[in-house]
Amino acid sequence: MTALAFAIVVWWSSNTVAHLFVHRPFFRRRSSNRLFALAISVALGIPQTLWRDRHLAHHAGVAPRLS
């Protein structure tokens, strides 16, 4: 049951929190947004810079950069 709860939290965080953060950073200060991106990268195990590039490429209809 714990694994299922963990999976749901990771899925929700990836598909909701990270998604919203890519489109509209949560804080006015750039340093706060960078700190949050670092925290969510560690928590999810997905670097938010890669997630952002991949997601915005999806919206633009182009292939994501791999570097």
pLDDT reported for residue 45: 86
Please report, rounded to a whole number, the percentage of residues in the chain having pLDDT higher than 70: 97
Q: What is the mean pLDDT of the chain?
A: 87
Rounded to an integer, what distance in angstroms lies between the CA atom of residue 8 and that of residue 16? 11
**Averaged pLDDT, 5-24:** 85
Locate the domains of the chain by residue range.
2-60
pLDDT reported for residue 67: 59
pLDDT reported for residue 13: 78
**Averaged pLDDT, 10-26:** 86
pLDDT reported for residue 61: 85
